Amino acid sequence: MSLAKRIIPCLDVDNGRVVKGVQFVDIRDAGDPVEVARRYDKEGADEITFLDITASSDDRDTIVHVVEHVAEEVFIPLTVGGGIRKLEDVRTMLNAGADKVAINTAAVFNPDFVREVSDRIGSQCIVVAIDAKQVSAAGEPLRWELFTHGGRKPTGLDAVEWAQKMTDYGAGEILLTSMDRDGTKAGFDLTLTRAIADAVSIPVIASGGVGNLDHLAEGVLEGRADAVLAASIFHFGEYTVGQAKQRMAERGVEVRL
């Protein structure tokens, strides 16, 4: 009996609608974030993450309303990422009912932003998102670089060093996505996950590349992640969160059943 490893379904939300098509037979509106969140909650999700991919900043208020509606019905921790740049943005999200915000690009341009949020509101509400890509050539010691803007822009920063720096600046958690694996269904980059998990004193969420339930267990067992995040394997109805937990339990991972 001890702390459970968490399973976190992630929803991409564009203009208030869930994208990447959720296909649950018994859901009335698969694009409604409230319905999808409620469904994941019933299946036993430990947290839910919303990634706002709305392109236009004019439409950013939409995600606030989404969070408000979800928080009225779903009583597990909620994380929101995408477009959060100022202390005021963080407060708006928390007041809407989010428990944590994920920050990526804004932290790279202004690392003190992480420190400011940590000092003023508390480190427990800041998740620093790290999009990392392997840049070492074959035969060289492994090295991963930090990318921003959804993995499009290189920063020249070493991902492991960045994770340590963000920990020092007051991040409460790291959301680590392997750009090499994202969308491949080949499993997490376990070497990267382990390198970061071993380098920092705060929890690490593994993301990017999950194609089956064993990948989730491996993220914990071999990657040493504290939590695993996945989108498509849950959205497309391939697996339920409950099945994921069963498999992880069979593999010896402590989960909340």
Partner 1 sequence: MGNLRSVAKALEHVVEPGQQVLVTSKPADIAAASHVVFPGQGAARDCMRELDQHKLVEPVLAAARSKPFLGICMGLQVLMRHSEENAGVDCMNLYPGEVRALAPRLAAAGEMALKIPHMGWNNVMQSGSHPLWNGIAQNSRFYFVHSFFVDPEDPLLASGHSRYGIEFTSAIACANVFAVQFHPEKSADDGLRLLHNFVRWNGQYA
**Residues identified as active-site:** 12, 131
Instruction: Rule CB under 8 A: say whether 81 interacts with partner 1.
Output: no
Nearer to partner 1 by Cβ, of 110 and 123: the residue is 123
Instruction: Rule CB under 8 A: say whether 125 interacts with partner 1.
Output: yes
Minimum CB separation from partner 1 for residue 185, in Å?
26
Q: What is the DSSP string of 169-232?
A: TT-SEEEEEETTTTTT-S---HHHHHHHHHH-SS-EEEES---SHHHHHHHHHTT--SEEEESH
Instruction: Rule CB under 8 A: say whether 201 interacts with partner 1.
Output: yes
Q: Which of 10, 70, 47 is nearest to 255 (CA)?
A: 47
Q: CB of 59 within 8 A of CB of 34?
A: no
Q: What is the DSSP letter of 23?
A: -
Of the ranges 51-59, 91-99, 182-190, 213-221, which one interacts with partner 1 (CB under 8 A)? 91-99
Nearer to partner 1 by Cβ, of 57 and 201: the residue is 201
Minimum CB separation from partner 1 for residue 7, in Å?
10
Q: CB of 201 within 8 A of CB of 230?
A: no
Of the ranges 49-57, 80-88, 139-147, 198-206, which one interacts with partner 1 (CB under 8 A)? 198-206
Question: Using CA atoms, how far apart are residues 79 and 207, in angstroms rounded to an integer?
Answer: 14
Instruction: Rule CB under 8 A: say whether 173 interacts with partner 1.
Output: yes
Residues that bind partner 1 (CB under 8 A): 1-6, 41, 46, 71-72, 75-77, 94-99, 121-125, 172-173, 201-204, 226-227, 256
